[in-house]
């Protein structure tokens, strides 16, 4: 787990590359996950080295130009009208990094910092920032050595780049500030670089600005969130199928021809997963042969594909935005392909901030419908013959009564976290930066949202497995059996009340690691 409770997937994908080559427009979302979470090494392409060398020559030519050029011969932000003498221009860049490394609060997770570092390297590698190849090569050396700058949670407004977080990373390249080494030990950056055999850099014209002017932090968290959410949505499909077995639900509503009448791709995918999860289930078959068959289940069951599918489609939209951002050169000013040095507004985080907020809304709703399904299994008026609260001896035992309380508390928190950050803006830099995205804040709360939603789905899985067991001697289908067997390796079956918190945590770990999803996938085909 991460230090602030956010999900950290520890099961490495077999497809995770050992080495990621950073080139112009070539970085893939899976590359970011591989470097951030699985320690993949990074190298720079020859194409990028050539592009950086070419654009650096443009900046060098401007060093003695009497005309002012932002970031080369002027101050920054509201101080852009200040002309900087030639002899102070190197100091200008160093001062920028030192003054902007001003974060505060809880430490940002290692995987987030690594993603941020890789994405800044990716922008440097486009050749549009005007830095020397040495800067990118040193950055890569620090990342490959497992050195992680220590960054506080607060300090970015999501505009003019994730300034404070990126500045802490840039400060480490100078051999200043505090970092953690590959073993997680806190130490001074100079000591860590020396131990890794890395020479600190001395910044030259524009290089400090190029190191801090980007959406890399919020984009990194978006890409990690997409990785988590794709897994969580499919796990929620599996959880819904388990609950339907526990409640002897109706599977006819998930038929593909019904989904085709409303052709949202995510809905169709989730319906397919649920239907596959219910295939060959004696529990579902029993509900059709026991006399009266319920024509319709409650919305939380019947409409699961519509809700889960909408989350899927929101994730796909966010992934489209992320892919565009991955292909971007976010800096100000930039060196254009024809050799001009131009100011721009591409550092504004609105495109990323919006989808981060969209995802927080969708994540809250995914958790909400999961909690509603869980509650149905606990209520004897709606559970179709199960013991109240799935208690072994109702009255003496409380069963999973308070597990649902835990879900409800999390869902309530997720609703608060779903309030968009991107609708807020606090002007900064003496009104020069008078509209900011708050995209970093949107990303931070989304990480908390995903953690909470994962816990809610885990409680549904835990509760559904108990409900299925209490339906004995009837058995679940292949998917339900595979997931229940996995859960039973960590949590005993129904019986008198036990200490419940460790059981919830154990299944949370099974869900967050991807093991529940892998167990389900071993018994059927999921999309």
User: Which tens digits make up the pLDDT trace of 492-524?
Assistant: 999 999 999 999 999 999 999 999 999 999 999
Q: 395: burial class by Cβ within 10 Å (0-12, 13-18, 19+)?
A: exposed
346 domain-assigned: no
* pLDDT value of position 10: 35
Q: 29: burial class by Cβ within 10 Å (0-12, 13-18, 19+)?
A: middle
Residues 315 and 173 in one domain: no
Q: Whole-structure pTM over 0.85, yes or no?
A: yes
442: Cβ contacts below 8 Å, ≥ 6 apart: 158, 218, 353, 356, 357, 360, 420, 421, 422
Is the pLDDT at 8 greater than 50? The verdict is: no
Residues 300 and 204 in one domain: no
The answer to whether the beta carbons of residues 335 and 130 sit under 8 Å apart is yes
Residue 293's SS3 state is coil
Q: Specify the CATH number for the domain of residue 25.
A: 1.10.275.10
User: Which tens digits make up the pLDDT trace of 335-369?
Assistant: 999 988 888 888 888 999 999 999 999 999 999 99
Dihedral (Cα; 315, 320, 323, 324), 10-degree rounding: -140
Residues 323 and 453 in one domain: yes
- At 1, the pLDDT band (50, 70, 90 cuts) reads very low
The answer to whether the beta carbons of residues 26 and 51 sit under 8 Å apart is no
Residues 163 and 104 in one domain: yes
User: Which tens digits make up the pLDDT trace of 89-98?
Assistant: 788 899 999 9
What is the sign, positive or negative, of the torsion defined by CA atoms of 352, 354, 355, 359? positive
505 domain-assigned: yes
Residues 209 and 321 in one domain: no
Phi–psi pair at 271, nearest 5 degrees? -60, -40
> How many domains would you assign to the chain?
2
Average pLDDT over residues 266-276: 98
CA atoms of 237 and 390, how far apart (whole Å): 22
Task: Using alpha carbons, select from 432, 426, 431, 519 the residue that is nearest to residue 476.
Answer: 519
User: Which tens digits make up the pLDDT trace of 151-184?
Assistant: 999 998 888 779 999 999 999 999 999 999 999 9
- Domain end position, chosen among 194, 214, 234: 214
Radius of gyration of the chain, Cα coordinates, nearest whole angstrom: 26
- At 9, the pLDDT band (50, 70, 90 cuts) reads very low
- At 399, the pLDDT band (50, 70, 90 cuts) reads very high
349 domain-assigned: no
Is the pLDDT at 446 greater than 50? The verdict is: yes
265 domain-assigned: yes
Residues 320 and 407 in one domain: yes
Residues 229 and 204 in one domain: no
Residues 180 and 315 in one domain: no
Residues 154 and 303 in one domain: no
Write out the DSSP string of 182-246.
TT--EEEHHHHHHHTT-PPP---TTHHHHHH-S-HHHHHHHHHHHHHHHHHHHHHHHHHHHHHHH
- Domain end position, chosen among 191, 214, 237: 214
5 domain-assigned: no
Residues 385 and 311 in one domain: yes
Domain of residue 374: give its range: 221-289+296-329+358-521
For the question of residue 70 being annotated catalytic, the response is yes
7 domain-assigned: no
Is the pLDDT at 292 greater than 60? The verdict is: no
Catalytic annotation, pick one of 70, 139, 354, 405: 70
Residues 208 and 227 in one domain: no
Is the pLDDT at 4 greater than 50? The verdict is: no
343 domain-assigned: no
Residues 84 and 225 in one domain: no
């Amino acid at each position: 787990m991460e230090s602030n409770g956010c999900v950290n997937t520890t099961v490495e994908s077999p497809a995770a590359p050992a080495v990621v080559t950073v080139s112009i427009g070539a970085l893939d979302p899976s590359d970011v996950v591989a470097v951030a979470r699985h320690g993949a090494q990074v190298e720079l392409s020859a194409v990028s080295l050539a592009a950086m060398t070419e654009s650096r020559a443009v900046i060098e030519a401007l060093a003695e130009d009497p005309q002012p050029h932002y970031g080369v011969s002027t101050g920054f932000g509201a101080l852009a009208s200040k002309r900087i003498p030639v002899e102070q221009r190197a100091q200008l860049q160093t001062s920028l990094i030192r003054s902007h490394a001003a974060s505060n609060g809880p430490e940002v997770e290692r995987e987030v910092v690594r993603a941020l570092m890789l994405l800044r390297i990716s922008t440097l590698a486009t050749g549009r920032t005007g830095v020397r190849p040495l800067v990118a090569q040193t950055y890569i050396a620090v990342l490959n050595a497992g050195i992680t700058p220590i960054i506080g949670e607060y300090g970015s407004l999501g505009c003019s780049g994730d300034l404070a977080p990126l500045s802490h990373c840039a400060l480490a390249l100078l051999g200043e500030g505090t970092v953690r080494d590959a073993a997680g030990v806190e130490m001074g950056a100079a000591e860590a670089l020396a131990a890794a055999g890395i020479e600190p850099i001395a910044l030259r014209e524009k290089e400090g600005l190029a190191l801090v002017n980007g959406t890399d932090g919020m984009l990194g968290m978006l890409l990690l969130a997409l990785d988590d959410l794709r897994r969580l949505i499919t796990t929620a499909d599996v959880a819904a199928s388990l609950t339907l077995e526990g409640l002897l639900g109706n599977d006819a509503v998930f038929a593909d021809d019904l989904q085709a009448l409303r052709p949202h791709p995510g809905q169709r995918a989730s319906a397919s997963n649920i239907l596959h999860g219910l295939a060959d289930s004696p529990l579902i078959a029993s509900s059709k042969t026991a006399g009266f068959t319920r024509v319709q289940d409650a919305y939380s069951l019947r409409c699961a594909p519509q809700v889960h599918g909408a989350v899927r489609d929101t994730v796909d939209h966010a992934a489209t935005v992320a892919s565009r951002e991955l292909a971007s050169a976010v800096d100000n000013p930039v060196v254009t392909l024809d050799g001009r040095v131009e100011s721009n507004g591409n550092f504004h985080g609105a495109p990323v901030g919006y989808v981060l907020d969209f995802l927080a809304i969708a994540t809250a709703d995914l958790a909400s419908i999961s909690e509603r399904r869980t509650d149905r299994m606990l209520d004897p008026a709606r559970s179709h013959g199960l013991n109240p609260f799935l208690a072994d001896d109702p009255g003496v035992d409380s069963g999973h009564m308070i597990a649902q309380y835990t879900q409800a508390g999390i869902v309530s928190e997720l609703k608060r976290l779903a309030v968009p950050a991107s609708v807020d803006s606090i002007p900064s830099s003496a009104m020069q930066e008078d509209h900011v995205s708050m995209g970093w804040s949107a990303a931070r709360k989304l990480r908390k949202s995903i953690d909470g939603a994962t816990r809610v789905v885990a409680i549904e899985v835990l509760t559904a497995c108990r409900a299925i067991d209490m339906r004995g001697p009837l058995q679940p289908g292949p998917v339900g059996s595979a997931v229940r067997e996995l859960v039973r390796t960590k949590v005993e079956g129904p019986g008198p009340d036990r200490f419940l918190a460790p059981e919830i945590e154990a299944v949370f770990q099974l869900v967050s690691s991807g093991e529940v999803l892998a167990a389900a996938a071993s018994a059927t085909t999921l999309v």
